[in-house]
Amino acid sequence: MTAEEVKIVLKSESAGDGFKRTEEGYDKVAAAGKRASEATGKPSTAQPPRGLATSPKGWDAKPDAPEKKTAVAQRNRAAIADAEQDLAQARATVEATDGSLLIQFGSGAGDVTLELVESELEPPCIALTNAWMVAGAWMQELRLTQTPVAFTDGSERRLPSPPTISRIQAGGGDATYSWNEIQQLSMPPEFQGSYQFVRDSVRTALLSRADGTDAIQSALEKFGNGFTVTNPRANVARIEFVGNFAGVGQPLLVVAVPDAPEGDLTFTLSLDKAPLAAMLRTQSSVDLPLEVELGINDDAVAGGVRVEKFRFDVTIQRGVLYAALASAQGINWLRPVPKDYIPFVLDQVITGQQFYACPLGNGDAVQFVVDHNLATDNIAGVLLRENASDGRELVNGTDYHVTYQGANSLTVTLTGTAPASGALALVITAAGPKAAFQAHTHTMDQIIGLNTRFESLEQRVTTLETYIPSTKPGLTTSTGTMAITIPHRAEVLFTSATDLTKLPVRGPILLPAVHEAATTALPSPLPAPVADTVWSTASRVLVPGTGRILSSHAPARGFVASDGRMLYPAVRAGSTSSYYPTPFERTLCEFAINEKMLRVGRTLDLQLGVKLQLVNADTEAQWVLVIEQGAPVAQTTPGTPGVNLEDIVWAATPILSQRLLVTGLATLHSFGCRVANKSSGITVDRMLYGTWEAAGTAPDAANFALRARLIEFDTKNNVPDASGWLSYKLGDVTGEADATATIS
């Protein structure tokens, strides 16, 4: 330590290790405190310290230095000799022994109190006195020792700094992209208390510095499900706001410290004292003992205070840094010392002479006010010349005069006739070069490779956007949740039975799709069944049923197909040549949404499960699962009709379409969709087996209908007389309970 000031912190350890010096090199304090506690049989922290006194000094150093022949030593010896004579005149017997004066007054019949009234010894000294009886006579000891070079009996408890929160990145976004709020928890290494986070008057559970990222994240979930905590380096935790808090700026979390141990007992010992300065005049350092005395509250001892002392050696060095040595910091403007890791290039620095140039003359005036805006009074030169390739330079003081009006303007007055328009050229130069770090922008073309890199990134982002959801549940402008219950249902086609174990061995006909390039008009009366034939209908026709399949109608401008066993209504798949049996189509659910239900900022979430199975079948089969959205349309004639529903026009491209193979093993298929009404428009995502991805066509407005269906039934071609029982169960994603479509 240098001879200026030293601060020592004594920490109370819960394990009874005494007081410990936190800085390197002071382990002796802890050892001394432990020895003191062992000597008393009690840990030194059983009771809180009441206070302390400390001082560094030459241990029992005498004012006299016999081996030295200095003037100070001689004066000290003379002063002590004079004191011995004075004591002899007071009828005292004086004996100098081992640096002490042993004194007996008279016959030693009484105890005499000695007091040092005045001392001229160098360095300054104090008198330590003691008295005891020897052979029935009182003997007084006077021991002169140097005063401490520094002393204090004041102390205070100081708490370490608490954990703090800072913002690394503010959350936000635009119509296309968003970024999450990131805040940082900084934990001082010396902090020992408990802390908690506070947000909107809600407090988390208590945490300690021993808790890791998982514990912090778990505590933050008190505010909602939307936090990710990482540990980029020691004593730091990064908190990212995700989930319900994603893409939105967040207020800084508040850290509260409701529970912490007492502060560390700290004393400050000033070494800026004359005795120490005297010691360091002739030597660069001195070794001195530092003695510490602790008063510890302890009801088990008399007086209620137990005193413990310990000391250790310290080296105090003469300082070599002084305020007079301070110098101005040099700055390398071309290669400044970096303050962060943002790349720096030289084209961000401009250098050169400050100047201003302009033409003068208008054919009329001989005096011109020039606003050069160089922001300096240090104008090094004003040059005026004829504004021509062979023009001469005019002479200042002869051809013209210059006067200055502040740091940004001057006046040029010509002594001759008024020059023609632009006939003269003026150049004003400031003193010295000027360098500056300029705020600036660059075009993308100026940065080598930037366009290529951005084009590559845009292509990759476009690809990613086809796989990731576009909705953000939780980022809403409206509150409250609305639920639409979709009842659990089960059906075995063409029977009222639901127990699959009690179905007859022979099931109904399983009708295949028919693939036909051309159709003919359906004759009347109905023809006999012909395999792989499709007819078109001009009007609505009742088609008789058979093989447990009920009679049903084929609509006008529809189709009737045959597999050779029976006639049945069929539906064409778009513009393909495939026609699928209508009796096997099933609508799983259908409901409507309006603009009051799905306001801007709200999201519709639908998640379902369907379980499919064939029983007692001699073939495998297929269904196509679709979720479709449609818009209600109204009749507009005749006149001006009121509110009405003419039809629901279903979009040609479904939100979700997935072929499902049906076998004798019951198989669950989970699916769903999510429709979000954003300020930028309506978006839709689809879900299959728990994975969300961007969907196709979204509704044009918040008035639409949704339905889930099983369509395009087909069987294997090599089983011409296929039969069996076909079943499905609809419910939530487990297929066993009611499903719920929520709007939040």
pLDDT in tens, 31-51: 333 333 333 333 333 344 444
Higher pLDDT, 14 or 640: 640
Give the residue among 303, 316, 327, 237 at the shortest CA–CA distance from 271.
316
Helix (H) or strand (E) holding 40: helix 27-40
Cα separations in angstroms, 224 against 60, 197, 216, 259, 469:
68, 13, 13, 25, 21
User: How many CB atoms sit inside 10 A of residue 355's CB?
Assistant: 14
CA distance 290 to 55: 6
**What is the CATH architecture of 160-259?**
Sandwich (2.60)
**Looking at the predicted structure, is the pLDDT value of residue 29 above 50?**
no
**Looking at the predicted structure, is the pLDDT value of residue 141 above 90?**
no
Which ranges in 53-178 belong to alpha helices (H)? 71-89
Domain boundaries, the chain: 5-57+264-317, 71-146, 160-259, 350-437, 482-510+584-743
The pLDDT tens digits for 520-579 are: 999 999 999 999 999 999 999 999 999 899 999 999 999 999 999 999 999 999 999 999
For residue 244, the 8-state DSSP code is: G
Q: Please state which of the ranges 59-73, 112-126, 504-518 shows the lowest mean pLDDT.
A: 59-73
CA distance 629 to 608: 16
CA distance 50 to 54: 14
pLDDT reported for residue 308: 85
Mean confidence (pLDDT) of the chain: 82
pLDDT reported for residue 92: 79
Q: Please state which of the ranges 54-58, 138-142, 247-251, 408-412 shows the lowest mean pLDDT.
A: 54-58
pLDDT reported for residue 174: 78
pLDDT reported for residue 158: 86
Q: Which residues pair with 238 in a beta bridge?
A: 184, 230
CA distance 47 to 307: 12
For residues 267-273, give the mean pLDDT.
82
**Percentage of the chain exceeding pLDDT 90:** 50
**Looking at the predicted structure, is the pLDDT value of residue 227 above 90?**
yes
CA distance 14 to 620: 75
For residues 661-667, give the mean pLDDT.
96
pLDDT reported for residue 40: 33
Q: Which residues pair with 111 in a beta bridge?
A: none
Q: Quickly state the pLDDT bin for 296 (edges 50, 70, 90).
A: confident
Backbone angles phi, psi at 437, to 5 degrees: -90, 110
Strand 520-521 to strand 533-536: parallel, antiparallel, or no bridges (unpaired)?
A: parallel
Q: Quickly state the pLDDT bin for 74 (edges 50, 70, 90).
A: low
For residues 235-243, give the mean pLDDT.
93
For residues 714-742, give the mean pLDDT.
94
pLDDT reported for residue 42: 32
pLDDT reported for residue 519: 94
Contact 242, 230 (CB under 8 A): no
Q: Quickly state the pLDDT bin for 112 (edges 50, 70, 90).
A: confident
Q: Quickly state the pLDDT bin for 342 (edges 50, 70, 90).
A: low
CA distance 447 to 463: 26
Q: Quickly state the pLDDT bin for 399 (edges 50, 70, 90).
A: very high
What amino acid occupies position 669? H
Contact 311, 291 (CB under 8 A): yes
Look at residue 54 and give its three-state secondary structure: strand
pLDDT reported for residue 72: 57
pLDDT reported for residue 26: 32
Q: Please state which of the ranges 391-395, 472-476, 630-634 shows the lowest mean pLDDT.
A: 472-476
Cα separations in angstroms, 342 against 184, 337, 348:
20, 12, 12
Q: How many residues does the chain have?
A: 744
Higher pLDDT, 348 or 227: 227
Higher pLDDT, 615 or 101: 615
Helix (H) or strand (E) holding 214: helix 213-220
CA distance 292 to 502: 95
Q: Please state which of the ranges 21-25, 442-446, 585-589 shows the lowest mean pLDDT.
A: 21-25
**Looking at the predicted structure, is the pLDDT value of residue 95 above 90?**
no
Q: Quickly state the pLDDT bin for 15 (edges 50, 70, 90).
A: very low
pLDDT reported for residue 291: 85
**Looking at the predicted structure, is the pLDDT value of residue 214 above 90?**
yes
Look at residue 641 and give its three-state secondary structure: coil
**Looking at the predicted structure, is the pLDDT value of residue 203 above 90?**
yes
Q: Is the dihedral of CA 449, 451, 456, 458 positive or negative?
A: positive
For residues 669-691, give the mean pLDDT.
92
Tokens of 364: 């009329």
Helix (H) or strand (E) holding 276: helix 274-279
Backbone angles phi, psi at 720, to 5 degrees: -70, -20
Tokens of 676: 């979000």
**Looking at the predicted structure, is the pLDDT value of residue 22 above 50?**
no
Look at residue 596 and give its three-state secondary structure: coil
pLDDT reported for residue 723: 95
Look at residue 696 and give its three-state secondary structure: coil
Q: Cis bond leading into 469, ω under 30°?
A: no
Q: Quickly state the pLDDT bin for 310 (edges 50, 70, 90).
A: confident
CA distance 490 to 509: 20
Q: Please state which of the ranges 282-286, 347-351, 642-646, 683-687 shows the lowest mean pLDDT.
A: 347-351
**Looking at the predicted structure, is the pLDDT value of residue 312 above 90?**
no
Q: Which residues pair with 7 in a beta bridge?
A: 268
pLDDT reported for residue 90: 66
Contact 695, 687 (CB under 8 A): no
Contact 599, 663 (CB under 8 A): no
pTM for the full predicted model: 0.42
Q: Is the dihedral of CA 272, 273, 276, 279 positive or negative?
A: positive
pLDDT reported for residue 706: 96
pLDDT reported for residue 204: 94
Burial class of 10 by CB neighbour count within 10 A (0 to 12, 13 to 18, 19+): buried
Contact 419, 363 (CB under 8 A): yes
